Amino acid sequence: MKRLISLALCLLLALGALSGCTSSTPSTPAAPEAGGMTAGTYTATVPGMHGPLSVEVTVTADAIEDVQVTSHVETPAVGDWAVELMPAAIVEHQSTGVDAVSGVTITSGAILRAVEDCLTQAGADLEAFRAYTAPVLEDAEYTADVIIVGGGGAGMSAAITAIENGASVILVEKMGFVGGNSVVSGGIYNAPDPSKQDNPENSFGDTDAIVEELLAQEPVSDLHAEMLETVRAEYEAYKKTDKVLFDSPTFFALQSWNGGDKVGDLAMMKIMCDNSLEGLKWYESMGMEFHPQITLASGSLYPRTHRAVMPNGSGYFKAFQDRLAQEPAESYTELLDTKAVGLIMDGDKVVGVNAEGKGGQKVTLKANNGVILATGGFAGNVELRQEYCEGEKWPDLGPNVVTSNMAGVTGDGIFFARDAGAKLVNMDQIQLLHICNPNTGATYDIVSVELFVNQEGKRFVREDGRRDEMSKAIIAQTGSIMYSIFSADFTPDPNTAKSLGGITLQTLLDTPGSGYFVADTLEELAEKLDMPADELIATVEHFNACVEGTAEDTEFGRRAYQGKKIITAPFYACTRAPAVHHTMGGVLIDADCRAIKEDGTPVPGLYCAGEITGVLHGANRIGGNAIVDFTVFGRIAGESAAKAK
């Protein structure tokens, strides 16, 4: 495969499969005339995104010979792009005036500052090294069987599958790297998987009560009745075995649909859940690793969550990129820093995409078979979320409410699809995630989600409940925040225990303003949190009794536990708050991922997958279902577009 950043668009001239690429003027290296540096290797350390970032710069008398980022604590799979691309760009252009990687400006800026520090130590004329003329890129036109807009999980899944179905693919991504929200997600994947769930060491609390409650429901449609009957028969069969946990794809689908208040489409949910395990195995077949232990991720409702070994969503992207790297350029081309601005129509048929490069040059993309929109949701777009959803459920979705979303995820494709005739559904359904950093909305710094207490040291919600219920409950607490409490029982060594994003607990504790606290006793922890110690101690004791099975959570109704008590020092607390996280509404699609019009017919040539679609999750997206969604429907979209279904 060929990955191209905007600076390298001209290289497309060499790609025979692509038509109409025009040349560009090469950039002008700064070539500082001042010289006069003392040759040698210099080091500097500056504050980065989450901690110190160090560089080593080797110079001759008049040139930057080498730049290495020697250590950093940047956001995994996001900051890594700047760490990979910036040093090479600085050396290539002999300049600290080069552009930041789009979407990774803080890390890019830290690298530039650290390099300038080294150049200053070497006695350089900094102004001369800052001179940089960006390359002038000219308009270009390309053709492929399938054009994909958006390089998140849905776009990448679709790309691989379209190629496997014989199509050539061009994927455009507006940021300087692929990943989208998918790469900064928790990386969690729900799938019933008896091979991991039937482990006698697992102890998840009273899960039978969860199944029985679901089975007691009155059916509301023929499909619902049929699926309830299936689960009833499966559950009866399970009770005759000595299996640790009941689960099945149909139960998973019914639970997910109920968890979205039955607003989503049950048939589509069934497709997702029926294909969930196959999707997991698809990743494993591409070399991706998951932890052997099944967990109950926060907001996931049942212990069927698989956790990726690599931080956040980076494992999925490594798998995607390793797989796509095997493809020749005529099969797969990635255009980074290229923003789609609209669809090209031939009558009512979608035949391509109009895009813009970083330098403002026009990029015209023509599709032989179809266009897949995989641009994600709009949780990062304050105006849209206020327009569609602010009201009864979420009184305030304005700029003061942080988001967990990446900057590029602003709902663009939803409106391209609407303008091409597609129907939008459930646009008023927005999810807040309850376990985010109160200042940044980030989720990479979560270590544990076992026990939630308010400022008064009391529980206020069931921790195994729905994300919207937990978020609403937090908003109602003092300061609209909560503390997640855990102990050495979960993370024996803070130097090796890592957050979702792979940052060590010790680093988080050492970072001012991270919201993390540690103490040797619960009394001391309560003091640090300015909370009544007797309340916190009573809360932890009751939690421990529930884990043991000697008490029940009659107040909030929690049923599922991870089987670990909070007894061993040190004790930790982490401040958390809700952030706007996922938009459940979007483009109406059918089972082939074709975009559907108001009259029920497909928009010819247009396919959608992932968070851009609006039909699946209903009023609340279950934790751990987003990656299953982009995997299953991304693959379906890839096949459908390749075959021009």
- What are the residues binding ligand ADP (CB under 6 A)? 149-155, 172-175, 180-182, 339-340, 374-376, 408-409, 412-413, 610-612, 630
Give DSSP secondary structure letters for 468-501.
HHHHHHHHTSGGG-EEEEEETTT-S-TTT-B-TT
Give DSSP secondary structure letters for 316-332.
HHHHHHHHHTTS-TTTE
Distances (CA, A) of 196 to 140, 190, 492: 50, 12, 24
Q: Would you say 578 and 432 are in contact if contact means Cβ atoms under 8 Å apart?
A: yes
Q: Residue 53 forms beta bridges with which residues?
A: 46
Distances (CA, A) of 12 to 134, 135, 166, 585: 18, 15, 21, 37
CB of residue 132 to ligand ADP, shortest distance in Å: 25
- Three-state DSSP at 598 gives coil
CB of residue 156 to ligand ADP, shortest distance in Å: 8
CB of residue 125 to ligand ADP, shortest distance in Å: 38
Distances (CA, A) of 57 to 64, 67, 110, 168: 7, 5, 14, 41
Residue whose CB is nearest to ligand ADP in the complex, by number: 152
- Whichever of 69 and 414 has its CB closer to ligand ADP, that residue is 414
Nearest residue to 470 via CA among 385, 555, 578? 578
Distance between CA atoms of residues 356 and 336, nearest Å: 11
Q: What are phi and psi of 485, to 5 degrees?
A: -105, 135
Distance between CA atoms of residues 87 and 84, nearest Å: 7
Tell me the pairing of strands 2-4 and 332-335. Answer: parallel
- Whichever of 87 and 618 has its CB closer to ligand ADP, that residue is 618
- Whichever of 462 and 467 has its CB closer to ligand ADP, that residue is 467
CB of residue 513 to ligand ADP, shortest distance in Å: 27
Tokens 């009957």 belong to residue = 229
CB of residue 611 to ligand ADP, shortest distance in Å: 4
CB of residue 355 to ligand ADP, shortest distance in Å: 7
- Three-state DSSP at 239 gives helix
Asked if 130 is an active-site residue, the reply is no
- Report the length, in residues, of the chain: 645
- Whichever of 51 and 153 has its CB closer to ligand ADP, that residue is 153
Per annotation, catalytic residue among 3, 459, 466, 467: 467
- Whichever of 381 and 514 has its CB closer to ligand ADP, that residue is 381
- Whichever of 153 and 187 has its CB closer to ligand ADP, that residue is 153
Q: Which residues are catalytic?
A: 467
